[in-house]
Structure 1
Amino acid sequence: MDENQHLRSRASHRSVLTQAALVCVVMFGFGFAIVPLYRVFCDLTGINGRMAVVASEEVEAPDLSRTVTIQFVANRNQDLPWAFKPDTDSLKVHPGAIETVTYYAQNLRESPMIGRAVPSVAPGEAAKYLRKIECFCFTEQKFEGGETRHMPVRFYVDPKLPADIDTLTLSYTFFDAAPQADLVAGRPAGS
């Protein structure tokens, strides 16, 4: 192989390596961006039972002619050593009326832990009508060892909820957020 072929071969290899490195960087960035993009997509479409948190919004007058039952459910990831449950199993509400319920959580370990709750609403088509004003979900909840807490959820059901839907289920699942917090902070998971 002459010198020119050797130089072209090296340039070709360098180009392939550069492209492969660029693909890795883009894939890594996409991995970090997918969660917020998914949340925005689900908030806009109401897919997967996601519901948007309402910062401040004019709430219509309550529809006193109608009652909707809201069921509250709590789950936890099997690896999360916490107690987690709603303080009330269900509530009858008038669409448009602002309500507050609380969920009880306790870290059963002696050491601090970080948890994160992910909500969902069933039926899925009703998710866009259940509006959260205040919620503990999607923010890290740091609990000291043995700490207990009652965490509020303020919400209302939009009066535009279709008339054929009279029961909604608001479910939260708590996960151990420490591995994710470690990755975001640049520490090895579990450190």
Structure 2
Amino acid sequence: MSNEGSGGNKKLLGKLLVIAVMMFGFGYALIPVYKHLCEVLGLNLIDGKPEQVAKNSQVDMSREITVELVSNVQGTLRFRATQNSVTVHPGEMTTVVYEVVNSVDRTVKAQAVPSYTPQEVTPHFKKVECFCFKEQVLKPKEARQMPVVFFIDPAVPKSVKTVTLSYTFIEAAGFDKQASN
């Protein structure tokens, strides 16, 4: 009886080895099939992977736009941009930093509200990361630097040479500091 079990195990091992080799071969064969499929579909490849660059993220090096950074505050916070302006090319990813300081001895909750001028730039100003996406809770005497990562869509009208990005930081009325602890 032990001879039959041994022969059955050898057959099973042989089948498993054949399956493993076939799986490896199939995986290996997928690489050229994948590349050929991308070529047929017109997808660009970078290091064997499809290039995923959206058309509106192409940088227009022939144009420059000055982005003026303005900050306002309602409440007890101190709030400012760390620079007055930045020059960008449409489509170019840019990071600017704003600084907020809670100068009082209590926790403060606030929300930043952005605005843009000229108004025609609003649909073209694309924020990727921004502190304005959520409320900010600042502990007593806390200072924080907060980045804004953005680009201006190259479809922005060619007449736009200057954009003003303005944030108003508004302290939440009636915020109970005990709720944040």
TM-score range, shorter chain: 0.5 to 0.7
Structure 1: 5+ residue runs without aligned partners?
A: 1-56
Structure 2 counterpart of 1:122: 117
Residue segments in structure 2 that go unaligned for 5+ positions in a row: 1-52
2 CA distance for matches of 1:143 and 1:114?
6
> Are positions 1:75 and 2:45 aligned together?
no
- One-letter amino acid matched to 1:143: L
Aligned residue in 1 for 2:104: 109
**Alignment partner, residue 40 of structure 1:** none
1:62 equivalenced with 2:59 (yes/no): yes
2:85 counterpart residue number: 90
Contact 1:140–1:177 (8 Å) recurs in 2: no
% identical aligned pairs: 40
Counterpart amino acid of residue 63 in structure 1:
D
Work out the CA distance in 2 between the residues paired with 1:65 and 1:125: 20
Checking the alignment, whether the CA contact within 8 Å between 1:113 and 1:176 is kept in structure 2 is yes
Whether 2:127 is the aligned partner of 1:132: answer: yes
Higher Rg of the two aligned structures: 2
Contact 1:104 1:150 in 2 (8 A): yes
Structure 1 distance, partners of 2:147, 2:71, is 13
Q: What letter is aligned with 1:91?
A: V
CA offset at residue 125 of structure 1? 1.1
Structure with greater strand percent: 2
Give the structure 2 partner of residue 155 of structure 1: 150
TM-score (norm 2): 0.65
Q: Which runs of 4+ in 1 moved over 2 A?
A: 57-60
Structure 2: distance between partners of 1:115 and 1:144: 11
Instruction: Tell me how far apart the structure 2 counterparts of residues 60 and 130 of structure 1 sit (CA, whole Å).
Output: 12
The residue number in structure 2 matching 1:43 is: none
Q: Counterpart of 2:137?
A: 142
Alpha-carbon offset, residue 60 of structure 1:
2.3
